[in-house]
């Protein structure tokens, strides 16, 4: 979609959790955000008009057991990237943040002014980067659009790119793995939450709707509209059991599962109010129905690319 809108994306990744095969639409540069010299070399070579910053460690459980790893990688790496962008005169910055900055606020539809009180180092590290961007805006005129994602799901319509984590931690791919026999069963972590069926509730957004939001964010910055924070979700929450039921409906197969205890750091309910993104950016999450996200993910799941 970037190429279709006239942008050439340059991907910078250390391949710790990413895959070079997923880079299909522009140059790839392998490097680490903790390597200042490598960052400066790439900025000098390409002179980008904007940065879209997606890189981070993102496993909640690991961030609780090893918080130092998250503060070093996420925060220090982001500081290096922000400073490199400013030094290169690249003043437009789109940042991938998270609903985890809000912490646990049950029975509340979260909007951009909701209190940020993260309960794990992953969410805290993302909130710290948001603070950095505001500080560099004040000191160096850096303009940023911050997107607080809710749960991203699905794949592109042509099944060229989809979710592929090792280890896998996201609910929908885990469900599809269980349906397809690639794991014995899905484990439901916690069945005693204060929800109608006892399982956690999350707001899911299709990855292609997310892509569209980022392009609208870039357009916002290039129009000189200044820094802004936007939630990206649908406002509709689904429990783990509801997602399982939808997957069974879409695939025509039952989901084998077991029940386990709650995981540390998991919130009961996280649901977005995304009115600002709709009203100000003109963003419409057109593919973010549960059945559509699972349909696209299932199509990707069944390709040979998924198991390479």
CB atoms within 10 A of CB 143: 20
Q: How far is residue 153's CA from residue 293's CA, in Å, rounded to a whole number? A: 6
Residue with tokens 């919130």: 267
- DSSP element (H, E) containing 145: strand 143-149
Q: How far is residue 244's CA from residue 176's CA, in Å, rounded to a whole number? A: 9
Instruction: Read off φ and ψ for residue 135, nearest 5 degrees.
Output: -65, -40
Residues 6 or more apart in contact with residue 224 via CB below 8 angstroms: none
CB 285 within 8 A of CB 143: no
Which one of the listed residues 46, 70, 102, 122 is annotated catalytic? 122
Look at phi and psi of residue 282 and say left if phi exceeds 0, alpha if psi is from -120 to 50, else beta: left
Residue with tokens 């929908």: 172
| Angle at alpha carbon of residue 2, lines to 282 and 158, rounded to 5° | 95
Alpha-carbon dihedral sign for residues 91, 94, 97, 99: positive
69, two tokens: 């790893």
Supply the DSSP symbol for 261: P
Q: Is 122 a catalytic residue?
A: yes
CB 112 within 8 A of CB 195: no
- DSSP element (H, E) containing 218: helix 207-222
The bridge status of strand 228-232 relative to strand 269-272 is: unpaired
Residues marked as catalytic: 122
């Amino acid at each position: 979609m970037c190429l279709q809108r006239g942008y050439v994306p340059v991907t910078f990744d250390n391949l710790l959790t990413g895959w070079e095969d997923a880079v299909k639409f522009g140059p790839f540069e392998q490097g680490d955000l903790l390597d200042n010299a490598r960052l400066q070399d790439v900025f000098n070579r390409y002179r980008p008009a904007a940065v879209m910053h997606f890189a981070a460690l993102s496993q909640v459980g690991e961030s609780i057991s090893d918080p130092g790893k998250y503060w070093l990688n996420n925060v220090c790496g982001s500081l290096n990237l922000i400073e490199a962008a400013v030094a290169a005169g690249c003043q437009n910055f789109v940042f991938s943040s998270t609903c985890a900055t809000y912490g646990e606020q049950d029975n509340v539809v979260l909007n951009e002014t909701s209190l940020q009180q993260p309960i794990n180092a992953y969410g805290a590290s993302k909130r710290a980067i948001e603070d950095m961007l505001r500080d560099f805006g004040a000191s160096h005129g850096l303009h940023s659009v911050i997107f607080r994602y809710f749960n991203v799901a699905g794949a592109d319509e042509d099944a060229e790119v989809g979710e592929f984590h090792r280890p896998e931690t996201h609910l929908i791919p885990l469900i599809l793995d269980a349906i397809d026999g690639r794991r014995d069963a899905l484990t439901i972590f916690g069945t005693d939450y204060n929800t109608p069926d006892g399982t956690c509730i999350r707001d899911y957004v299709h990855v292609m709707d997310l892509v569209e939001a980022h392009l609208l964010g870039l357009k916002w910055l290039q129009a000189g509209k200044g820094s802004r924070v936007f939630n990206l979700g649908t406002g509709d929450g689904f429990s783990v059991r509801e997602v399982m039921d939808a997957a069974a409906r879409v695939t025509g197969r039952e989901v084998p599962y077991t029940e386990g205890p709650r995981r540390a750091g998991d919130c009961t309910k996280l649901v977005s109010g995304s009115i600002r993104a709709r009203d100000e950016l003109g963003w419409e999450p057109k593919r973010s129905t549960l059945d559509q996200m699972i349909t696209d993910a299932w199509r990707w799941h069944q390709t040979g690319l998924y198991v390479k």
